[in-house]
Amino acid sequence: MVDFQSVLNGIGITATKATDRGRIASYIPELEKIDLQKFGIHLINIKQHSFSSGDSDERFSIQSISKVFTLSMALGLIGEKLWERVDVEPSGDPFNHLSLLEMENGIPRNPLINPGAIVVADILVSILDNPKDDFLAFIRNLADDDSINYDEEVAQSEKMTGYRNYAAANLLKSYKNLTNDVDSVLDFYFHQCSISMSCAQLANAFYMFINNGNCRRNNTQLSKGQVKRINALMLTCGFYDEAGEFAFEVGLPGKSGVGGGIVALLPNEFCVATWSPGLNEKGNSKLGMLALERLTTQTELSIF
Ligand code: DON
């Protein structure tokens, strides 16, 4: 049996001492207020035993990690039809790049880059009666935690400065790959990114990706095949132009966010969430990546 707690304790001690912690995302002004010294990690295994270290119960902005939740909800609702509007190839580009979108006639490379996530948001806005309420209920059910909520200040902060997302949505609209109006889709998108969750809540919500689509409340959200596909997308596209590096160093499917969170998982074994708000040059949490490399190296547990 792997002693996860002592591995996490060691990771926590190293993180506390780290001097180069990366830089906090500044293009969403509200995120800049976060303390660079924060670090948390929480792991839940398939038997639902939990292990943690540091600021693992403190909530932060999940940002792009929300793209995995919207993708899961949309795939559960419309199934394979989703792939008519968004592809499944890694982009090798930063999350907010637009040039490929124009070259490929408005079909985003994958659902985890911003244009792809905006298409997925459009699908949910079309289908759901009360998109924001219904999506929040979906996440609360996954995490088995009804206290999870949007952060209105973060959502408004991004609405004021999200120029590239407005550009992406308008480009999608010009290619007829956006059904609803730009403002209502982006209102939903900025809200999904603003959701506040702790490492513990994120690891709990991702439990279904290690448990064949059954969440902690033991209701089935996705089929085995759908979970396989989402895990594959996390591996190949979850870290944008650093997906190769993450697979090389860590060896797990995962997803990052510019709030400094990363969630990663080993199917049938464990999922783990880390939080450290300082990012590297590619926009992924610097200490989070180091922590996960250490976790999979020390435990010898990875998909490879
Ligand atoms: O749309 C944006 O730019 C942000 N709301 C989310 C970007 C993000 O988290 C990229 N992840 N590493």
Ligand 1 atom 11: residue of nearest CA = 257
Domains of the chain (ranges, CATH numbers) = 4-299 (3.40.710.10)
Distance of CA 113 from the midpoint of ligand 1 (Å): 8
Model confidence, pTM? 0.98
Counting from 1 in the atom list of ligand 1, the atom nearest the Cα of 64 is 9
| β 23-24/270-275 pair status | unpaired
**104-125 pLDDT per residue, tens:** 999 999 999 999 999 999 999 9
User: CA 273, 52, 146, 283 torsion: positive or negative?
Assistant: negative
**48-91 pLDDT per residue, tens:** 999 999 999 999 999 999 999 999 999 999 999 999 999 999 98
Q: Give ligand 1 pocket residues (Cβ under 6 A).
A: 63-64, 95-96, 114, 158, 165, 193, 256-258, 283-284
Distance of CA 34 from the midpoint of ligand 1 (Å): 16
Residues recognised as catalytic: 64, 67, 189, 240, 258
Ligand 1 atom 3: residue of nearest CA = 96
pLDDT of residue 18: 95
CA–CA dist 205, 144 (Å, integer): 7
**11-41 pLDDT per residue, tens:** 999 999 999 999 999 899 999 999 999 999 9
Helical H segments across the chain, by residue range? 4-17, 66-78, 99-103, 114-127, 131-143, 152-161, 163-174, 182-194, 199-205, 224-237, 243-249, 286-299
Is the pLDDT score of 220 beyond 90? no
Counting from 1 in the atom list of ligand 1, the atom nearest the Cα of 284 is 12
CA–CA dist 160, 157 (Å, integer): 5
Distance of CA 19 from the midpoint of ligand 1 (Å): 25
CA–CA dist 117, 121 (Å, integer): 6
Counting from 1 in the atom list of ligand 1, the atom nearest the Cα of 258 is 9
Q: What is the pLDDT averaged over residues 206-228?
A: 94
